[in-house]
Structures are given as C-alpha cells and as structure tokens.
Amino acid sequence: MIRAVMVISTQGKPRLLKFYEFQPPEKQQEIVRYVYGALSGRPENVSNFVDADSIFGQGTRLVYKHMATLYIVFAFDSSENELAMLDLIQVFVQTLDKCFKNVCELDIIFNFNKLHTILDEMILGGQVIETNSDQILKHVDDIARIEKSSSTTSLVPKSISARFGR
C-alpha cells in the first residue's frame, strides 16, 4: 500500500502531507526532515527510488520526482510495484498541471485544500483508485459544481449570516 504522499519544497518545507497510516505530528515532521534529507543530497540523473526502511519500516521505499522547486514523494511498501508508483506520480503531476495550467509551487501553496480533494480522487486508503488525469479532473469539477450550487451561504454578507445565526 501507499503509506504517504508528500509534496516538499526544495527548501524542505512541507506543501502537502497525506498519510494513509496515522502519524502523530512530531513523527510527521521527522518524516519530512528525513525525506528531505534523503532527497536533497541526491544528484541529478539518478534513479527515482530511495530506501525508507529506517523511517517507514522494513521493505518500504520512496519514489519521487523532482519538479522545479518541489519534490513529489510517495512512500510505499513491498506490495506495490516501483515503476507503477512512479507512473502514479506522473498522473498526479499531469492532473495538477491540467488543473492549474502549468502548475507552480505557489499554486500548490495556496490551493493545498484543492490538492487534498484531487488526491482523494486518486488514492483511497493507500490504494490507487483512479489513474486517468481527465477522470480525476472530471470528478473534481463535479465536486466544484456541487459546491457552487450549494454554497449560497458564502455569498450572503457576513453581517447578515451573523444575524441569522443569532
């Protein structure tokens, strides 16, 4: 299963963290530091795989892609195929690219909530659920539409909603 999806900037700052097995906050940060440490030292043109036994347990690995100022990292155990995981990162990147039109780090920083929505359409409980970026986007758009149609509250000025609340 996929243990975690992480987007970490090349400065070591977490931009998106999603763990499919609960990790307490300190452990999450330890993982971010470990992963960043493991990746930042790697030269260009090497493999996309890194052993992660010491942080995620026996037999786990990281697969990552380095895109501009971001590392996109999946941690997974021995029940997954390494290259299939790499493909999945590619699907994730494609989806982001389509969603934000040439995605950059700022898009990801300011839309971290949207990223969670996208990720939930792609991976569920550590298993891949959808592998086509257009399909993922379609689901996300559907959600956006439902939101719009039901989100009248946000259009009501604050003062009024406050009065209704009373």
Partner 1 sequence: MALSGMRGLSVFISDIRNCQNKEQERLRVDKELGNIRTRFKNEKGLSHYEKKKYVWKMLYIYMLGYDVDFGHSEAVSLISAPKYPEKQVGYIVTSCLLNENHDFLRMVINTVRNDIIGRNETFQCLALTMVGNIGGKEFSESLAPDVQRLLISSSCRPVVRKKAALCLLRLYRKNPDVVNVDGWADRMAQLLDERDLGVLTAVMSLFVSLVSNNAEVYWNCLPKCVRILERLARNQDVPPEYTYYGIPSPWLQVKTMRALQYFPTIEDPSARRALFEVLQRILMGTDVVKNVNKNNASHAVLFEALALVMHLDAEKEMMTQCVALLGKFIAVREPNIRYLGLENMTRMLLVTDVQDIIKRHQAQIITSLKDPDISIRRRALDLLYGMCDVTNAKDIVEELLQYLNTAEFAMREELSLKAAILAEKFAPDLSWYVDVILQLIDKAGDFVSDDIWYRVVQFVTNNDDLQPYAALKAREYLDKPAPHETMVKISAYLLGEYGHLLAQRPGCSPKELFLLLNEKIPTVATNTIAILLSSYAKILMHTQPPDPELQEQILIIFRKYESYIDVEIQQRAVEYFELSKKGPALADILAEMPKFPERQSALLRKAEDAEVDTAEQSAIKLRSQQQSSTALVVSSDPHPPNGAVPLTPQLSLVRVPSQTVEEVDHEIATENGLAVIPESKVEPEQVQPEPEPVAAPIQPEHVPVPVNTEPVPAKPPPSAGDLLVDLLGPLMIEGPPAPTGPEAPPSGPHVPPVQATPVAAVSERNLNQGLDLGQELAGALAITTLEDQANSIQPVVNLAEKFHLLCLKDSGVLYEDPYIQIGVKAEWRAHHGRLVLFLGNKNTAPLASVQALILPPAHLQIELSSVPDAIPPRAQVQCPLEVINLRASRDVAVLDFSYKFGTAVVNAKLRLPAVLNKFLQPIALTPEEFFPQWKALAGPPLKLQEVVRGVKPMPLHEMANLFMSLHLAVTPGLDANPNNLVACATFYSETTRAMLCLVRIETDPSDRTQLRMTLASGDPSLTFELKEFIKEHLISIPMAVPSSPVARPVGPAPVQPQSPQTPSRYNDPGAMLAGLL
Could you say which residues in the range 92-121 bind partner 1, by CB under 8 A?
109-114, 116-117, 120
Q: What does the block give as tokens for 92?
A: 């994730």
Q: How far is the CB of 124 from partner 1 (least distance, A)?
A: 4
For residues 115 and 42, is the Cβ–Cβ distance under 8 A? Answer: no
DSSP state of 44: S
Binding to partner 1, residues 133-162 (CB under 8 A): 134-135, 139-140, 142-144, 146-148, 150-151, 153-154, 158, 161-162
Which one of 67, 69, 100, 128 is in contact with partner 1 (CB under 8 A)?
A: 128
Site string for partner 1, 19-58 (x = CB under 8 A): xx-x-xxx-xx--xxx-xxx-xxxx-xxxxxxx--x--xx
What is the CB neighbour count within 10 angstroms for residue 30? 13
* Residues near partner 1 (CB under 8 A), total: 84
Please state the closest distance from residue 53 (CB atom) to partner 1, in A: 10
Of 102 and 140, which CB lies nearer to partner 1 in the complex structure?
Answer: 140
Query: Which residues lie below 8 Å from residue 93, measured CB to CB, with a gap of 6+?
Result: 65, 67, 72, 103
Task: Report long-range pairs for 44-48 (Cβ below 8 Å, ≥24 apart).
Answer: 48/86
CB of residue 82 vs partner 1: minimum separation in angstroms? 6
How many Å apart are CA 140 and CA 100, to the nearest integer? 12
The correct pick among 82, 97, 107, 137 for binding partner 1 (CB under 8 A) is: 82
The pair of structure tokens assigned to 119 is 């990720």
What is the end-to-end Cα distance of the chain in Å, rounded? 48
Q: How far is the CB of 51 from partner 1 (least distance, A)?
A: 6
15 within 8 A of 70, measured Cβ to Cβ: yes
Nearer to partner 1, 25 or 102 (CB): 25
Q: How far is the CB of 148 from partner 1 (least distance, A)?
A: 7
